């Protein structure tokens, strides 16, 4: 294994992790809500009265923040040469199905659930990591991507 030193960004990654932790802490302390992205988006789609505005604002912040960041620090170039767009849609649907099946996503279980010492979130996070590693192995060794 080698590290891509040109695109290695430990300080930006640390800052991003701190911001995620602060945002998740503020949301739960100020409003008693969990910052699980799949649950937030599901709440937008269900459109419960009084619940939509903060969810839309949260998702808009997720969408706008990389653009704001790029105004101050240039982002590395991304190349999508090896992306199979025909697989991207079904992969997204599988992720959505998996987060629904697991009663939450990596952000909900991994960030918020573990910080609340949830056993269910610990099991879910371990399973995310294990199946992520298995998927990477299959994609690299069996599919040759």
Rg (CA), the chain: 17
**Structural domain contains residue 3:** no
**Structural domain contains residue 26:** yes
**Cα–Cα dist 75/136, whole Å:** 25
Per-residue pLDDT of the chain (145 residues; tens, 9 = 90+): 677 777 778 888 898 889 888 988 888 888 888 888 888 888 888 877 777 888 899 899 989 988 888 888 877 676 666 667 787 888 888 888 888 888 888 888 888 888 889 999 999 999 989 988 998 999 888 887 6
**Structural domain contains residue 115:** yes
Domain that holds residue 96: 10-142
Q: Number of folded domains in the chain?
A: 1
* Residue 101 in tokens: 């099946």
Is the full-model pTM beyond 0.75?
Answer: no
**Structural domain contains residue 4:** no
**Structural domain contains residue 2:** no
**Structural domain contains residue 55:** yes
Three-class DSSP labels, 14-47: HHHHHHHHHHHHHHHHHHCCCCCHHHHHHHHHHC
């Amino acid at each position: 294994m080698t590290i891509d030193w040109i695109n290695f960004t430990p300080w930006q990654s640390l800052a991003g992790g701190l911001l995620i932790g602060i945002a998740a802490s503020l949301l739960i302390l100020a409003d008693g809500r969990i910052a699980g992205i799949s649950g937030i988006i599901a709440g937008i789609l269900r459109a419960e009265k009084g619940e939509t505005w903060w969810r839309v604002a949260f998702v808009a912040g997720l969408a706008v923040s990389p653009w704001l960041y790029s105004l101050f620090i240039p982002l590395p170039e991304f190349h999508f040469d090896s992306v199979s767009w025909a697989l991207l849609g079904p992969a997204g649907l599988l992720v959505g199905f998996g987060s629904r099946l697991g009663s939450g996503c990596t952000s909900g279980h991994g960030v918020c659930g573990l910080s609340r010492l949830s056993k269910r979130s610990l099991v879910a996070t371990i399973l995310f990591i294990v199946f992520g590693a298995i998927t990477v192995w299959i994609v690299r060794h069996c599919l040759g991507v």
